[in-house]
Amino acid sequence: MGGEYRREEGVALLVIVVLAGLSLVSLLVAFTYYCYISNKVSKHLKSLNKEETKKEEAEEEEAKDIENHLGGGGGGVGGGGGGGGEGTVVVSERGIQVQLFSYKQLHVATGGFGKGHVVGHGSFGSVYRGLLPDGRKIAVKLMDRPGMQGEEEFKMEVELLTRLRSPYLLGLIGHCSENGHRLLVYEFMANGGLQEHLYPNGGLLPLLYSALPLLTDREKVVQIMDPALEGQYSMKDAVQVAAIAAMCVQPEGDYRPLMADVVQSLVPLVKNRSIAKGCSSSFHASRPLASLDCGKTGS
């Protein structure tokens, strides 16, 4: 009787020891898994915090740069909401500096695009005179139909216009592309156009120089197009080609683009194989652009 009792007691003790061991192992596994998950979550949170910190630092740095460019005063251009800026100077991929204005800045500079500030109208928009805080007079072209032109096309046009350097053309100061609004900002010339100032007696400009204003005016580009090409091109493509041509005929050789740049600018205009095939049948139309004195020369 006593031996049987001891055996049962031994079995019970063995069961207790086994269960205790299993419980301990389970606790160790659970604790290890908890540590693993905690470590993983901690690393993830640290990574997020680092990204957030970098983002905040970048935003602070950008804000400081903008504040420096704008004269450190928030608000619009010369507006009542604090100091004024003239637009942030940005550098394009080609290293060209151009001022980036906000819509609010140009709205204030032009008196809210009031009728009293209108100096001209065109099929693509109206032109308003404006005044920057530093006293510079500007001409702001507000595009009435921005939807006809994509953002990339607008950026290309801005870069092409920025690269134009000629005494016969108004210089592009900057631009604005914000919430569907697209605006170009030029130097303002009062009391007539540049031709009247250069040739007050009605003298004639050389052919290339007289053509430059046509090449940079959307509404007048069609006047220099070959009538035989009617219906074979879109107005958008014609304007872009004209802007490229205007760069090629600048009198200063150093300001003319390299042929590689010209080709790179023309590549996006080739949309499909049929257009490429059509080039051979209309070779005479491409000769004026090909024969222009493009490329950097000593002249």
User: What one-character DSSP code corresponds to residue 233?
Assistant: S
DSSP codes of every residue in 172-206 = EEEEEEETTEEEEEEE---SS-HHHHH-TT-PPPP
- What is the chain's length? 299
**Where would I find the H helices in 135-174?**
151-163
**Mind listing the pLDDT tens digit for each residue in 5-27?**
677 777 788 888 888 888 888 88
Point out the annotated binding site for ATP.
141
**Whole-number pLDDT of residue 272:** 39
pTM of the predicted protein model: 0.40
**What angle, 0 to 180 degrees and rounded to 10, lies between the N-to-C axes of helices 235-248 and 283-290?**
30
Neighbours of 19 (CB within 10 A): 10
Terminal CA-to-CA distance of the chain, rounded, Å?
124
> Cβ distance 238 to 214 under 8 Å?
no
Highest mean pLDDT among 56-60, 124-128, 260-264: 124-128
**Mind listing the pLDDT tens digit for each residue in 149-185?**
567 777 777 777 777 666 666 778 888 988 888 888 9
pLDDT reading at 235 higher than 50: yes
- Rounded Cα distance between 114 and 107, Å, is 9
> What domains can be seen in the chain, in order of their start residue?
88-187 (3.30.200.20), 206-290 (no CATH)
**What Rg, from alpha-carbon coordinates, does the chain have?**
34
> Cβ distance 57 to 127 under 8 Å?
no
**Whole-number pLDDT of residue 136:** 85
Point out the annotated binding site.
141
Q: Which residue has the tokens 């872009």?
A: 240
Q: Which residue has the tokens 């493009």?
A: 294
> Cβ distance 181 to 142 under 8 Å?
yes
- Rounded Cα distance between 88 and 91, Å, is 10
pLDDT-derived band at 66 (thresholds 50, 70, 90) equals very low
Helix, coil or strand: residue 100: strand
Largest Cα–Cα distance in the chain? 139
Highest mean pLDDT among 92-96, 187-191, 215-219: 215-219
